């Protein structure tokens, strides 16, 4: 079979065929009824283009930077815990990102240690949740810094949403014999996936090495999740404290409101990502692309604005950049690529996005992503959501 795929939709189909049902389920799921996960996709389809017929540019420049890191296209890897998707996990993703000249976000719930991931891609940002004591947070930051992480991503939007209408995957506390036997029928139905793991000589152990306390073994996914659930949520002062402790480039991920974006500027962050955690969070949050224009209008160029949620093609990236994002982060798109074909599958996804960005730039008659403006996008009336500041000035719509 030709391992190359043409679209992210095809990567998703292959991931579905290749992964055990519960692992695939974890990659597509949104919280509750899935209103947000659906809107993240739908909103991009509501935006249009008005292409030129001549006067196109022969050369197009896609390069930009995020938090001081030069990247060859305005797309970077969003942090996700890719437990059990592929034995090489985040290391394969990091290698793919490096091969395609972009940066990697590494989840603190990842299956691979930060040291291995930074070795695979020196442009790695370490992602942290507000979990555990201040000492533990400092230790995790120290470890990431010592490993060479070039920035910190603080993801603070998580709301511990429980119910998913299509069911949550059963993640065992440990892979003991009982859990292995329960999982066996699913795994045996996916021989290719199983073979990949058997080749490496170990099954996914569902531990989270980057959450380990010094000198202790890595906790289980659920052990770490319990610690996080029991931690009192952070205040804006805590955000400022975290940024100060890190002392380098700092991305606050999960902002959807104008007032929060302003507070983020006040807390001294380097960048925000307009994000609703890919619809895995408080269901009913609008698509991030609807929230972006008003946030851009409110904070301008004070800090970098990134976006994640629902990006599946290069034209989505163009829409986000035109509406004010410096770059986007992708989640599911690369996870499906990883499931479909390991490192090469992630490279394939980045190539799809690159050529889609380039083709949209060509049609729009632009020579650089830096020349994009909201006028390059057809925005329907009532598209923009002004969360957290209804009185803000009205953005220009077509």
Ligand X SMILES: Cc1cc2nc3c(=O)[nH]c(=O)nc-3n(C[C@H](O)[C@H](O)[C@H](O)COP(=O)(O)O)c2cc1C
Q: Which positions are annotated as active-site residues? A: 277
- With CB atoms as reference, the residue minimizing the distance to ligand X is 331
Alpha carbon distance 127, 249 (integer Å): 12
* Sole residue written with tokens 């050369």: 59
Q: Is 80 in the site for ligand X (CB under 6 A)?
A: yes
How many H helices and E strands in the chain? 14, 10
Token pair for residue 331? 């989640």
Give bridge partners of residue 254 from the DSSP assignment.
none
Selection from 329, 342, 340 nearest residue 105 by Cα: 329
Query: Least distance in Å: CB of 367 to ligand X?
Result: 28
Q: Closer to ligand X at the Cβ: 164 or 253? A: 253
Q: How far is CA 395 from CA 98, 167, 274, 286, in A?
A: 37, 39, 17, 17
Q: Are 40 and 256 in contact (CB under 8 A)?
A: no
Q: Closer to ligand X at the Cβ: 81 or 132? A: 81
Query: Least distance in Å: CB of 179 to ligand X?
Result: 20
Q: Is 345 in the site for ligand X (CB under 6 A)?
A: no
Q: Is 310 in the site for ligand X (CB under 6 A)?
A: yes
Q: Are 219 and 212 in contact (CB under 8 A)?
A: yes
Alpha carbon distance 361, 379 (integer Å): 17
β-strand pairing of 64-66 with 69-71: antiparallel
Alpha carbon distance 39, 276 (integer Å): 11
Alpha carbon distance 354, 359 (integer Å): 9
Q: Is 337 in the site for ligand X (CB under 6 A)?
A: no
Q: Is 319 in the site for ligand X (CB under 6 A)?
A: no
Q: Are 31 and 279 in contact (CB under 8 A)?
A: yes
List binders of ligand X among 267-306 (CB under 6 A): 275, 277-278, 280
Q: Is 326 in the site for ligand X (CB under 6 A)?
A: no
Give bridge partners of residue 129 from the DSSP assignment.
none
Query: Least distance in Å: CB of 312 to ligand X?
Result: 8
Token pair for residue 50? 């008005």
Query: Least distance in Å: CB of 365 to ligand X?
Result: 28
The one segment of 87-95, 191-199, 329-337, 362-370 that binds ligand X by CB under 6 A: 329-337
Token pair for residue 380? 């329907």
Q: Is 256 in the site for ligand X (CB under 6 A)?
A: no
Q: Is 332 in the site for ligand X (CB under 6 A)?
A: yes
Alpha carbon distance 258, 287 (integer Å): 14
List binders of ligand X among 35-54 (CB under 6 A): 40
Q: Is 12 in the site for ligand X (CB under 6 A)?
A: no
Site string for ligand X, 168-207 (x = CB under 6 A): ----------------------------------------
Query: Least distance in Å: CB of 371 to ligand X?
Result: 25
Give bridge partners of residue 355 from the DSSP assignment.
none
Site for ligand X (CB under 6 A): which residue of 14, 100, 164, 253? 253
Q: Closer to ligand X at the Cβ: 79 or 356? A: 79
Q: Is 107 in the site for ligand X (CB under 6 A)?
A: yes
Q: Is 113 in the site for ligand X (CB under 6 A)?
A: no
Q: Is 366 in the site for ligand X (CB under 6 A)?
A: no
**CA atoms within a 13 Å half-sphere pointing along the CA-CB vector of 76:** 27
143, containing H or E segment: helix 134-147
The one segment of 73-81, 224-232, 241-249, 384-392 that binds ligand X by CB under 6 A: 73-81
Site string for ligand X, 117-136 (x = CB under 6 A): ----------x---------
Q: Which residues bind ligand X (CB under 6 A)?
A: 26-27, 40, 78-81, 107, 109, 127, 155, 253, 275, 277-278, 280, 308-311, 330-333
């Amino acid at each position: 079979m030709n391992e190359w795929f043409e679209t992210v939709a095809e990567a998703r189909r292959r991931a579905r065929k290749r992964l055990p049902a519960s692992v695939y389920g974890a990659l597509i799921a949104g919280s509750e009824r899935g209103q947000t996960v659906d809107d993240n996709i739908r909103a991009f389809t509501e935006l249009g283009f008005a292409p030129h017929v001549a006067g196109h540019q022969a050369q197009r420049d896609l390069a930009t930077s995020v938090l001081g890191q030069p990247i060859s296209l305005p797309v970077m890897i969003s942090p996700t815990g890719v437990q059990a998707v592929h034995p090489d996990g985040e290391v394969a993703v990091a290698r793919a990102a490096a091969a395609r000249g972009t940066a990697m976000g590494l989840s603190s719930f990842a299956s691979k240690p930060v040291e291995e991931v930074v070795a695979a891609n020196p442009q790695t940002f370490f992602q942290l949740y507000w979990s555990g004591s201040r000492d533990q947070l400092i230790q995790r930051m120290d470890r990431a810094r010592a490993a060479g992480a070039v920035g910190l991503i603080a993801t603070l939007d998580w709301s511990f949403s429980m119910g998913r209408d299509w069911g949550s995957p059963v993640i065992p506390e440990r892979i003991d014999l009982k859990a292995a036997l329960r999982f066996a029928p699913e795994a045996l139905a996916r021989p290719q996936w199983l073979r990949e793991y058997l080749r490496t000589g170990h099954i996914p152990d569902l531990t989270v090495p980057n959450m380990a306390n010094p000198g202790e073994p890595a906790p289980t996914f659920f052990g770490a999740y319990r610690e996080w659930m029991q931690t009192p949520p952070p205040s804006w002062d805590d955000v400022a404290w975290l940024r100060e402790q890190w002392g380098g480039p700092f991305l606050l991920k999960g902002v959807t409101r104008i007032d929060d974006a302003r507070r983020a500027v006040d807390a001294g962050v380097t960048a925000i990502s307009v994000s609703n955690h890919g619809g895995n969070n408080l269901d009913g949050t609008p698509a991030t692309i609807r929230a972006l224009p008003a946030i851009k209008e409110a904070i301008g160029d004070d800090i970098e604005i990134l976006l994640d949620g629902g990006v599946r093609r290069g034209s989505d990236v163009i829409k986000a950049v035109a509406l004010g994002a410096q770059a986007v982060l992708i989640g599911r798109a690369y996870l499906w690529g990883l499931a479909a074909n390991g490192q090469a599958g992630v490279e394939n996804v980045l190539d799809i996005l690159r050529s889609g960005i380039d083709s949209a730039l060509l049609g729009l008659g632009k020579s650089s992503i830096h020349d994009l403006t909201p006028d390059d996008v057809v925005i329907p009336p009532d598209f923009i959501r002004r969360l957290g500041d209804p009185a803000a000035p009205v953005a220009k719509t077509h």
